[in-house]
Structure 1
Amino acid sequence: MFDLDGVLVDSEPVWEEVRRAFVAEHGGTWQPDTQARLMGMSTGEWAAYLHELGVRLEPDEIARGVVDRMAARYRDEVPLMPGAVETVRRLAEGRTLGLASSSPRRLIDVVLDAAGLAGCFAATVSTEEVERGKPAPDGYLEAARRMGLDPRGCVAVEDSSNGLRSAHAAGMRVIAVPHPRYPPAPDALALAWRVLPDLSALTPDLIR
């Protein structure tokens, strides 16, 4: 099971830039811990949180405006993580892959299509499609359900604190590939079965 943002796509800097600008333009105040708190939230959750920061729009308008800007950025370029395409294709040979992401469905589809990876995943889940976003386990549990798998037999690849907590709460064995700019909290990293320096270290032998 793969996460998307921060694992396959170096999108967290883009999300931060877009949401910071949106908050400033609409009367809100970005806090020192805002980016860390947003990572892993579902669309509805982060839109409500930005509203609490003082953005003078309703959460559904906030979500629509931010996602529109993200989609526009992705149309120019999808910032794939080094080795993302090769790693997914390598692991897809003889294995069933899934994806559980906090990104909206619209952006998941744009990224996977642009990267030519859509056919590598048996199921993809946006936390828009479940009750709770990360750190709750809902997205990972739904991905396993759609694939007909026991979550306890799955391995999840994550980068963020909330993502690591989510996959662990789902009962999955968790591999952490921390993002150098947004490292997970020590207590979340301690939940990982393995910590890897980058995707190139995620090999079929390790999964076996």
Structure 2
Amino acid sequence: MFDLDGVLVDSEPVWEEVRRAFVAEHGGTWQPDTQSRLMGMSTQEWAAYLHSLGVSLSPDEIARGVVDQMAARYRDEVPLMPGAVKTVRRLHESVTLGLASSSPRTLIDVVLEAAGLTACFAATVSTEEVERGKPAPDGYLEAARRLGVDPRKCVAVEDSSNGLRSAHAAGMRVIAVPHPRYPPAPDALALAGRVLPDLDALTTELLGSPS
């Protein structure tokens, strides 16, 4: 099971730039911990949170405005993480892949299509499609359900604190590939069975290893 933002796509800097500018443009105040709090939230959750920062639009309007700007940025260029395409295609040859992302469905589809990876994933889930976003386990549990597999037999690849907590809460074995700019909290990183420096280090042998 892959996460998308921060694992396959170097999107967190783009998300931060777009949302920070959107908050400032519409009368809100960005807080020092805002970016770390937003990572892993579902669309509904982060839109409501930005509204609470003083943005003078409804959460629905905030979500539409930010997602439209993100989609426009992605259509210009998808900032893939080093090794993302090669790793996904390599693993796809021998294991079944799923994806559980906090991104809205629109952005998931844009990214996977642009990267030529759509066919590599047997199931993809946006936390828009479940009740709760990360750190709740809902997205990962739904991805496992769509694949018809026991979550406890899945391995999740995550980067963020909320993502690591989500996958662990779903009962999955967790491999962390921390983003250098947005490292996870120590307590969240401790939930990972392995911590890798990059995607190139992710092998089928490692996926089958219990520790």
| TM-aligned CA deviation for residue 148 of structure 1 | 0.1
Q: Is the partner of 1:167 in helix, strand or coil?
A: helix
Aligned position for 1:174: 174
| TM-aligned CA deviation for residue 192 of structure 1 | 0.2
Aligned position for 1:153: 153
* 1:116-127 to 2 correspondences below 5 Å: 116-127=116-127
Aligned position for 1:110: 110
CA distance in 1: counterparts of 2:191 and 2:172, whole angstroms: 10
For 2:5, give the aligned amino acid. D
CA distance in 2: counterparts of 1:108 and 1:173, whole angstroms: 23
CA distance in 2: counterparts of 1:205 and 1:94, whole angstroms: 11
For 1:30, give the aligned amino acid. W
CA distance in 1: counterparts of 2:158 and 2:27, whole angstroms: 33
For 2:131, give the aligned amino acid. E
Flag structure 1 segments of 5+ consecutive residues without an equivalent: none
CA distance in 1: counterparts of 2:141 and 2:87, whole angstroms: 23
For 2:154, give the aligned amino acid. C
| TM-aligned CA deviation for residue 207 of structure 1 | 1.1
| TM-aligned CA deviation for residue 88 of structure 1 | 0.3
Q: TM-score, normalised by structure 2?
A: 0.98
Aligned position for 1:52: 52
Q: Per-residue CA shift, 1:104-143, capped at 9, x if unaligned?
A: 0000000000000000000000000000000000000000
For 1:123, give the aligned amino acid. A
* 1:166-205 to 2 correspondences below 5 Å: 166-205=166-205
Aligned position for 2:140: 140
- RMSD value, Cα: 0.3
Q: Is the partner of 1:96 in helix, strand or coil?
A: coil
Aligned position for 1:38: 38
Alignment: residue pair count: 208
CA distance in 2: counterparts of 1:91 and 1:172, whole angstroms: 18
| TM-aligned CA deviation for residue 147 of structure 1 | 0.4
Aligned position for 1:74: 74
Q: TM-score, normalised by structure 1?
A: 1.00
Q: Per-residue CA shift, 1:28-67, capped at 9, x if unaligned?
A: 0000000000000000000000000000000000000000
CA distance in 2: counterparts of 1:205 and 1:134, whole angstroms: 28
For 2:142, give the aligned amino acid. E
Flag structure 2 segments of 5+ consecutive residues without an equivalent: none
- Give the 4+ runs in structure 1 shifted more than 4 A: none
Preserved CA contact (<8 Å) 2:94 2:204:
no
CA distance in 2: counterparts of 1:90 and 1:43, whole angstroms: 31
CA distance in 1: counterparts of 2:99 and 2:131, whole angstroms: 17
